[in-house]
Amino acid sequence: KQEVTQIPAALSVPEGENLVLNCSFTDSAIYNLQWFRQDPGKGLTSLLLIQSSQREQTSGRLNASLDKSSGRSTLYIAASQPGDSATYLCALNAGNMLTFGGGTRLMVKP
Amino acid sequence: GAVVSQHPSWVICKSGTSVKIECRSLDFQATTMFWYRQFPKQSLMLMATSNEGSKATYEQGVEKDKFLINHASLTLSTLTVTSAHPEDSSFYICSARAPEGTDTQYFGPGTRLTVL
């Protein structure tokens, strides 16, 4: 059974810092990996989708990498802003279902 | 892009009543929809997979008689929480699988259920 772990569970940084969120998984037989953002009480917003054959995806200040051999993905946020404060979730797609990590709650202080 | 809506966005009900939550794919047909539940400060947990025209597949520990799922059309799936109790209070999120050829899921905005 796929297990997805996100570290750290919570993170507080000053505005402007570059930061890295980590996601590890136990089963490398995946179709793709997604990073989501969730604001309090809201639904999910898809940030980046990395296919199994890809190593990274970039969107604006966000860069996500995937290393299946080590069972890891990272989400890099450059020049963080207070508006980036949210919970970030990674999810592994191994076929017909997604398995979510526990999320990282990010607080970017002005 | 693909849009998924949920209705209602929030609902408060008395213990013992039933509540129906709708999930619609607005601009695409979804043969598969998923229902998730999220408790405060926890991640999403898959409850069931809903396939159009067939019975839903429930995850272990999810009571199928309590959480009734109907996927009668390619654009609509419903989740009915029967005889709701306070412990059913949660954030329910649905997603719809993109058309054939992709594995992307598009998520609805969620429904906040509070059972008094």
Decide: helix, strand or coil at residue A25: strand
pLDDT at B23: 96
In single-letter form, the type of residue at position B31 comes to T
Q: Is the dihedral of CA A69, B45, A31, B3 positive or negative?
A: negative
- pLDDT of B81 strictly over 90: yes
Nearest to B109 among A42, A95, A99 (CB): A42
CB A94 within 8 A of CB A109: no
Of residues B51 and A62, more confidently modeled: A62
- pLDDT of B68 strictly over 70: yes
Closest residue on chain B to A98 (Cα): B46
**Residue A83 φ then ψ, to 5°:** -70, -10
pLDDT at B100: 65
User: Which of B34, B39, B44, B112 should one mutate to test binding to chain A, selecting the residue with the greatest count of A CBs within 10 A?
Assistant: B44
Decide: helix, strand or coil at residue B113: strand
Q: What b/e readout covers A64-90, taking b as 16+ CB neighbours within 10 angstroms?
A: bbbebeebebbbebeebeeebbbbbbb
Question: CB distance B104–A31 less than 8 Å?
Answer: no
Question: CB distance B43–A42 less than 8 Å?
Answer: no
CB B6 within 8 A of CB B26: no
Kindly state the average pLDDT of the residues A93-101.
79
Task: Show the beta-strand stretches assigned E in B1-116.
Answer: 4-7, 10-13, 19-25, 32-38, 45-51, 57-58, 67-73, 76-81, 90-97, 105-107, 111-115
- pLDDT of A103 strictly over 90: yes
* pLDDT interval class at B101 (50, 70, 90): low
pLDDT tens for residues B21-47? 999 999 888 888 999 998 877 778 889
DSSP bridge pairs for A21: A75
Q: Which residues, other chains included, contact B98 with Cβ-Cβ below 8 Å and sequence gap of 6+?
A: B2, B28, B30, B104, B105, B106
- Calculate the dihedral angle through the C-alpha atoms of B10, B11, B12, B16, rounding to the nearest 10 degrees: -140
Q: How does the average pLDDT of chain A come out, rounded?
A: 92
Nearest chain A CA: its distance from B43 CA (Å)? 5
Tokens (6 digits) for A60? 């604006």
pLDDT at B22: 97
Question: CB distance A102–B91 less than 8 Å?
Answer: no
- pLDDT of B70 strictly over 70: yes
Distance CA B41, CA B3 (A): 26
Q: How does the average pLDDT of chain B come out, rounded?
A: 89
Nearest to A41 among B6, B104, B112 (CB): B112
- pLDDT of B104 strictly over 80: no
- DSSP letter, residue A94: S
Distance CA B25, CA B108 (A): 9
pLDDT tens for residues A47-93? 998 989 999 999 999 999 999 999 999 999 999 999 999 999 999 98
